[in-house]
Structure 1
């Protein structure tokens, strides 16, 4: 018959190794705790508050469990108090009901406060006018359109630092989730829906962006770089894209929307109203549901010129 103690000694190290291997793939979760914007910072604060409050219950329970198991284990000459007829203790009932109730009330209060403060479509308070970026998730790539600047990119995003960014999100493929971990939480992209998400980068730097939803064969390749730069650098980049890259046409978009991976691409222009057409193509009657914005109706877009792909 196998020795239980020997089996435990053998299995326990293997469990530790397996846990470390699983945690090695949690890069996105680690950088969440290194926020670079006001939304990410507030979300980090809520994570810390929730973790501390949960630990206030979990840690004492685990310690008491270990203490009880050790103290009342079956051993020769045990001096642990034995009370076979014990059934109630008002003091203990007060502790194990009162403390969790108080913690839940505190946690609920913080959660409600932060939930309303971090409503995704709520504009970020700033003296600077926000810029708009229209985001479309495709198989298996991201299309970013800058309606105010008149340019578009694929799998690459550049934004000015300390400027609120209003992301308008939709999908022309299976549902996905837009996520820049260091700037804020994820937001789903869905066909026929136009979702709104405000984020801001407070520091110049390169940030990781990805699709956080399983969406088929190459979902792991739906990643993109986010460069937060100074306003001068951003304007210089916009001018460079407008001067040196081709325009995205309707025919070019249809080609881009076919399933497949893509390298970063840049376009000096895109068809007017393309984002709304993408949203409306799946809606009955031409209108679409929105989060943080009114429904719109657009006219069909005609192709004008051919397109070509360029790398940055």
Structure 2
């Protein structure tokens, strides 16, 4: 396959000999399979393109005006054999391309867990997948390792030959997470979580960036991906933990503010619920998470009583949090109660908290005491009468 790929791309390589063709010579198995798909698709299309180009020149030369030996047949209008060749050849190529694309679409689905770490090397049964939570910020990248309780900015690492699952989101506008040597690009969108499964097969440092324009600092939105041996990765994690520092929600709100050319930052500890709050767009204190809001809406909503359940934004963040020059100040829906201590049925507590009797939990069958429901701590003047667990 490597020989065919080199032959197919020889003209392009001659023109771009000074460029780094990492897309066609990657170090990760997923990106390598994608490169093979590009190569095979190119070769299949060249099967019809090259003959057409050759025949164009041949016909122009053979039937030139000065060639008196060429047969002149002004009444010719049809050839069954020629029609079969003209239509059959492209049809067969399209069928092959379609079958190849269909199979690759499923085999290289970014949401599909890997079943191999390289050609002929299936994933060992005892291999534990590495989870990396990715947050696209303005204009930098935040990486959270939930297994190790650490976080980094503009730097990410993974052991060689260990499957990786990237859980990707964005704090504001849409970005595109892309490490050419590892796998294809996947979009990062606010309030949503996309996934990418990949593996790195060769140690080294590789470039990553956003491939989707997202504002003034977009061109500096780059990071480094380190492929490390197992012991090298363990040392990298240990160094980060030893360096100290913790990324909590207040720290994230400061980090989230737009900035350019950010240096690498490392955090030896991270709030365990931070990534979930980022996806739910509820990092700010007292703000209702999207999944809670959608669950309440699915149960019929809070009716007229919920209309005033809004709270002014706590600080400005350019266009996202806005600066109201005209009209009312920007607001968001405030949480009815804190659900950090609740599990499983947190939304039902939000629905039942206003009407539940004082001596029983609003969560039927959850076995949670009334004391586990904490009123929000925002001032009453922010959004009208204080909403509490015990009205």
Into which bin does the TM-score normalised by the smaller protein fall? Answer: 0.7 to 0.9
Within 1, Cα distance between the matches of 2:19 and 2:56?
A: 29
1:232 aligns with 2:223: no
Offset at residue 231 of structure 1 (A): 1.0
Listed as ranges, the gaps of 5+ residues in structure 1 are: 1-18, 289-297, 303-312
Per-residue CA distance 1:39-81 (angstroms, 9 max, x = gap): 1121111111101101101111111112222333344x54332
If you compute each CA radius of gyration, which structure gives the higher value, 1 or 2? 2
Offset at residue 286 of structure 1 (A): 3.2
Deviating runs (4+, > 3 A) in structure 1?
A: 22-27, 282-288, 298-302
Scaled by the length of structure 1, the TM-score of the pair is: 0.81
Within 2, Cα distance between the matches of 1:81 and 1:245?
A: 86
Structure 1 residues 143 and 25: alpha-carbon distance in aligned structure 2, compared to 1, 3 A threshold = farther
Per-residue CA distance 1:5-25 (angstroms, 9 max, x = gap): xxxxxxxxxxxxxx99x9699
**Structure 1 segment 111-126 matched on structure 2, within 5 A:** 111-125=101-115, 126=123
Query: Match of 2:177, SS?
Result: strand
Offset at residue 278 of structure 1 (A): 1.0
1:255 aligns with 2:251: no
Give 2:98's aligned residue: 108
Give 2:272's aligned residue: 272
Contact 1:162-1:200 within 8 A present in 2 as well: yes
Query: Match of 2:82, SS?
Result: helix
Within 1, Cα distance between the matches of 2:199 and 2:222?
A: 19
Structure 1 residues 202 and 64: alpha-carbon distance in aligned structure 2, compared to 1, 3 A threshold = same
- More helix as a share of residues: 1
Within 2, Cα distance between the matches of 1:130 and 1:202?
A: 15
1:52 aligns with 2:58: no
Within 2, Cα distance between the matches of 1:82 and 1:299?
A: 86
Equivalent residue pairs, number: 271
Listed as ranges, the gaps of 5+ residues in structure 2 are: 1-11, 116-122, 283-288, 295-337, 342-375, 377-391
1:84 aligns with 2:88: no
Give 2:292's aligned residue: 286
CA RMSD of aligned residues (A): 2.5
Which residue of 42, 53, 56 maps to 2:33? 42
Per-residue CA distance 1:151-200 (angstroms, 9 max, x = gap): 10111111111100110000112111111111111111111111111110
Contact 1:181-1:208 within 8 A present in 2 as well: yes
**Structure 1 segment 179-194 matched on structure 2, within 5 A:** 179-194=178-193
